[in-house]
Structure 1
Amino acid sequence: MALEEGEAAEAASAAVTGSAESVLSKSVLATARLIAQGLTNSEIAARRNLSVRTIEDHVNIANARLRVNNRVKIGLWVREHDRQ
């Protein structure tokens, strides 16, 4: 999940600031944390005992709330803002 230096800066500047819990719901944040670990939607669904469609919804919600457009940027945001 390595990003070029410029891409990392772009993702960080595009992301919403604030604590992870204040930006994402508990359920979406749990999904985002697993995205940051590199899991696929199917793997996340199995681990969380949810449908793949629900996980897809969580990814779309995270993208919208964080103002990003891909999983890598969700993972980067989690690593920078989540104080789990």
Structure 2
Amino acid sequence: YGCEWGDETGKTDGLGQLGYNGENFLEYDMNAFTWKSLKQQADFMQDKWNNDGSRLPFWKIYFTQTCIECLKKQVVNGKSILKRT
């Protein structure tokens, strides 16, 4: 999982994927703010996570706010470090 930020456009996006053995089986739908099963074997996990009243709000806030704020701080810190050398 992670996020993207276009510093020139201001566009942000989140990415949430879970995989095993090189294959993704669950991903976070940024439009619906729910988890989506990519394999039938992960249907139970999708249902469990989407019905967990505490889990969905956490991921929505993480992808739309927390991750973006951390990324912006890292970019600022990275630029200041690069300017020192």
TM-score exceeds 0.5: no
Relative to the length of structure 2, the TM-score reads 0.31
Specify the structure having the higher radius of gyration (Cα).
2
Greater RCO, 1 or 2 (C-alpha within 8 Å, sep 6+): 1
